[in-house]
Amino acid sequence: MDDIHTPRGELQIRQLAMPADTNPAGDIFGGWVMAQMDAAGGIAAAGVAQGRVVTVAASTMVFIQPVKVGDVVCVYTSLKRVGRTSITFDVETWVLRRRIGDRLKVTQAEFTFVAVDEAGKPRPVPPADAPG
């Protein structure tokens, strides 16, 4: 069972939600939130892959609550699985309301990345104990 008060994984990104990122309703645009999640997952995946990665899938995306202007957006990643060339993370977005308020989970998704070489071709993910 998920703990509704504690993020899972490692904090990858912390960003202030600004008025320029709002949708017509005045909430932060969902695409902006998804971009933060993709970037956070990419940071984590590049560490595992020990090099360049590309996003190949974002699935099970759930928007739980809106993000408001002034929220501190915190994106956490937890490693789900490593394949031969792919790496999958569970990614959660939490906010601190008005920079100091309650911590609330606002989105969650699964992101999959593929390790690629200089030519953009898939390459094997190094073993976890390989020197970086």
Domain region containing 23 = 10-115
Q: Find the CATH number of the domain harbouring 87.
A: 3.10.129.10
User: Measured between alpha carbons, how far is 114 from 85 in angstroms, rounded to an integer?
Assistant: 6
Overall pTM surpassing 0.85 (yes/no): yes
Residue 41 has φ and ψ, to the nearest 5°, of -60, -40
User: What is the pLDDT of the chain when averaged over all its residues?
Assistant: 93
Number of structural domains in the chain? 1
Residue 122 domain flag: no
Residue 129 domain flag: no
Contact 127, 120 (CB under 8 A): no
Residue 52 domain flag: yes
Residue 51 domain flag: yes
User: Measured between alpha carbons, how far is 54 from 100 in angstroms, rounded to an integer?
Assistant: 34
Residue 31 domain flag: yes
Residue 127 domain flag: no
Confidence class of residue 6 from pLDDT cuts 50, 70 and 90?
Answer: confident
Residues in the chain: 132
Residue 57 predicted with pLDDT over 60? yes
For range 82-94, the mean pLDDT: 98
User: Measured between alpha carbons, how far is 117 from 62 in angstroms, rounded to an integer?
Assistant: 32
